[in-house]
Amino acid sequence: MTNFFDRCPQVIDRPYPRWGESRFLQPGYRGDPLHLLWREPDSPARDGILLVHGMNEYIGRYRHVAEYFGRRFNVLGVDLHAHGLTNPVLRRADKEITTGAKTWRADDAFLQQLQLKTLEILRRDFRTALEDLRRRCDGHVFVLAHSLGGLVAASTLLQGNGGVSGILLLGPAFSVSRFPGLRGRLANPVMETSFRWLERCLAAHDGLACLATSVLDGIMEVCSRPLLRGWFSPCRPQWILDYLTDWEEERARLRGDCYIIPRVLMSYVCGVEREIAHFRRRMQAFRLPYFLVYSEEDPITAAWGNRDFAASTLGNHPLNEVMPVPGSCHEHLFMKPPAPQKILRILDGWMEKVMKTAKA
């Protein structure tokens, strides 16, 4: 009998790519340690920046970002729950490879998403990492967060700034995806209707909308149970890879990156959509200074969510800035050079402006 997991295998064949000191904070969720990477500049620095990754990726990918900011900032990166080396399956695989195994199957790594019915576990990890960075730095602290990490960070900092001087949001997940092509013409109306029902249920307690939302939630939960999740936990489709980056060299790296989890549980997707709807109801109260970067035609985190966020919050702080990027690329710091270097310089300049304003 064919194993369902074989339809989307995850084979680890190399050690986890560390760009700094690898540390584990104990205890993490259900005893699993929280994995952090730490990098200091050559000269002592008081200021720090926390790097937060997106859905199903991991912070070890961000070496070039850590090296850039590591010239004058203390840099801390966090693997959120079920991701990177905070995921016990991937942590075991890394250990086996490091101690001599040639390959290690990690097909069930995505099952760690079972606990993610909301983003509260990820917010807890974010707060823990932020507190760790604050203990190490007595100057300014910034957050750079990508995609789902942007939603995790922004929804956490909406509850209080945590001593953060500013946040850099790169393609944050403030909206649901829009599928391209024929599949999109069929699926997008259904997804958008479902999301609008969810928003109506949360905002007005519309009985019909709440009933429809409950039914859809139940279907997603059933699809995430044993036996069925083998069929209904989708593998990463080719169109995602096409829109992550506009650089073929990076696409080749992504295809061979064994630490990116290629599957996602439907209950996790459902929980993320609910979190987006919750955040959109409260986002106008976001007061922390931010620099927002998004692509105008990004289908992964559709641009309308970022436009809505900017329209609701841009006037909340005089240092807020928005940078729409032409095209559809989702991972701005992994685009074809020299675009990432240009964006990093712009972000660096904005943080310098924030620090100078605080001193004035």
Sign of the CA dihedral with 343 first, then 70, 260, and 322 last:
negative
Residue 229 in contact with residue 307, Cβ under 8 Å? no
Residue 57 in contact with residue 65, Cβ under 8 Å? no
User: Rounded mean pLDDT of the chain?
Assistant: 89
Establish whether the linkage from the previous residue to 180 is cis, with ω within 30° of 0: no
**Model confidence at 223, in pLDDT bands (50, 70, 90)?**
low
Distance CA 288, CA 286 (A): 6
Distance CA 164, CA 168 (A): 11
Position 133: which residue type?
Answer: L
pTM assigned to the model? 0.93
What average pLDDT does this structure show over 172-195? 76
* Residue in the structure block whose two tokens are 């990093």: 344
Query: Does the pLDDT at position 184 exceed 70?
Result: no
The side-by-side arrangement of strands in the sheet containing 166-170 is 21-25, 34-39, 74-79, 48-52, 141-146, 166-170, 290-295, 321-325
Domain boundaries in the chain? 4-359
Angle formed at CA 138 by CA 132 and CA 140, multiple of 5 degrees:
95
Distance CA 188, CA 54 (A): 22
pLDDT in tens, 23-57: 999 866 667 899 999 999 999 999 999 999 999 99
Q: How many CB atoms lie within 10 A of CB 190?
A: 10
What pLDDT, on a 0 to 100 scale, did the predictor assign at position 5? 44
pLDDT in tens, 112-129: 999 998 999 999 999 999
Query: Does the pLDDT at position 344 exceed 70?
Result: yes
Task: Give start and end residues of each alpha helix (H) in the chain.
Answer: 63-69, 88-98, 120-136, 148-157, 181-204, 207-223, 229-232, 238-244, 248-255, 266-282, 303-313, 339-359
Higher-confidence position of 272 and 205: 272
Residue 220 in contact with residue 266, Cβ under 8 Å? yes
Distance CA 332, CA 42 (A): 27
**Model confidence at 218, in pLDDT bands (50, 70, 90)?**
low
CATH class assigned to 4-359: alpha beta
